[in-house]
Amino acid sequence: MGFVESQLTNSGDRKFIGRTLRLRALGLAVGAPAVASVLYEIHAPTWAWILLAVHTLLWPYLAWWRARRSSDPRGKEFGHLIFDSAMGGAWIAIMEFNLVPSALLVTMLTIDKISAAGWRFTARTVPAQAITCIVVSALLGFPVRLESSMFVIVASLPCMFVYPLALSTMTFALGYRVSLQNRQLQRLNRSDALTDLPNRRHWDEAAASELARYLRSRRPAVVMMIDVDNFKKVNDGYGHAVGDEVLRCVSAALQSSLREIDTPARYGGDEFAVLLTETDIRGAREIAERIRMRFLELRGEAAAAQRCTLSIGLAAAERVMVGVDDWVRRADAAMYGAKTAGGDRVNVA
């Protein structure tokens, strides 16, 4: 990739200077007609036209190139943004303070800085803009021509509409991407990476809510605890990759056998938990048997060779339970009863 690419180790910096390049190039492209219309009316000298061409056509890419080569791309780009404001002040003076394009330049540059780094950074750019404007105006003899002709107003329309729309679109896209990333992060924080099931923390919250609902309404609910029989033999005999596949088979069996209102989770290691809402013990046993049989279909040759099966314990919600821990302990005891009896079966507390 070379020296230039090696300097950009932070993907956030790359995105920032790339976004700034697009905005700077667009802003100068739509602002140039407004400035050019004033230069035409005041019969500006050749140097002003050359400066406009260089600033519009070359500066965005020169700034991008300088930022990419810098050891601090973001800091370098902030310096370029201050220079943009200074050049805006220079153009206001060169245009002899023509009202409409000058107001548009100030507004556009302010919006640009706020979107890049907020109000505090924007305040830092104001002195550069004001000082450059005063100095350039002094060098030109302080010419002032506030009136904006219809020709200048029409030439300013692209700057008036296109740049704010483009900036708003880019801001919306950034916000939408951040929202998606936040939702993905939230999902990852509540999910088990291996099985793609909810994790224990999420399941405990759901179970606590369901137990509270049961204590209020007496609507039936059942906790199912599942342990994989002979799982250690699979890990020891075939390796952790095969063991992970067995756990994914349990997940697949759960997802294909449960209803949308049920909440499965990887509880820890080779143990799984399921919260069955609006279900009594009879219905829960039917679901548990369906899960047990479905796993036998999915488990694979290695798991079958080691007699890898499921032991399942069920416990219905009861009024004497003071918390989820009581509920889980009863289902856990039933599950260990199933293992003690030889495994590959369903046991009720």
Domain boundaries, the chain: 2-187, 200-348
| Mean pLDDT (whole number) for 294-321 | 92
Q: How confident is the model at residue 34 (pLDDT cuts 50, 70, 90)?
A: very high
Q: How confident is the model at residue 9 (pLDDT cuts 50, 70, 90)?
A: very low
Q: Is pLDDT above 50 for 272?
A: yes
pLDDT score for 161 = 83
CATH 3.30.70.270 fits 200-348, yes or no: yes
Main-chain phi, psi angles of 277, to 5 degrees: -95, 155
DSSP characters over 114-175: HHHHHHHHHHHHHHHHHHHHHHHHHHHT--------HHHHHHHHHHHHHHHHHHHHHHHHHH
Q: How confident is the model at residue 287 (pLDDT cuts 50, 70, 90)?
A: very high
pLDDT score for 224 = 96
> Two tokens at 118?
């907020």
* 311-327 per-position pLDDT tens digit: 999 999 998 888 899 99
| Mean pLDDT (whole number) for 324-348 | 94
Helix, strand, or coil here: 9?
coil
Q: How confident is the model at residue 2 (pLDDT cuts 50, 70, 90)?
A: very low
Q: Which residue has the tokens 């609902």?
A: 213
How high is the mean pLDDT of the chain?
Answer: 88
Q: Is pLDDT above 90 for 300?
A: no
pLDDT score for 116 = 75
pLDDT score for 13 = 76
pLDDT score for 4 = 38
Q: Identify the residue with better confidence: 275 or 180.
A: 275
* 152-196 per-position pLDDT tens digit: 999 999 888 887 787 777 777 767 776 766 666 566 566 888 898
> From edge to edge, which strands make up the β-sheet containing 271-277?
263-268, 271-277, 221-228, 310-316, 345-348
> Two tokens at 10?
């932070």
Query: Which amino acid type is present at position 246?
Result: V
Q: Is pLDDT above 80 for 70?
A: yes
Angle of CA points 116, 66, 77, to nearest 5° = 15
Which residues lie closer than 8 Å to 317 by C-beta, 6 or more apart?
210, 211, 214, 220, 221, 222, 223, 327
H or E segment and range at residue 265: strand 263-268
| Mean pLDDT (whole number) for 92-118 | 89
pLDDT score for 168 = 75
> Two tokens at 344?
């590959």
Q: pLDDT > 70: what percent of the chain?
A: 92
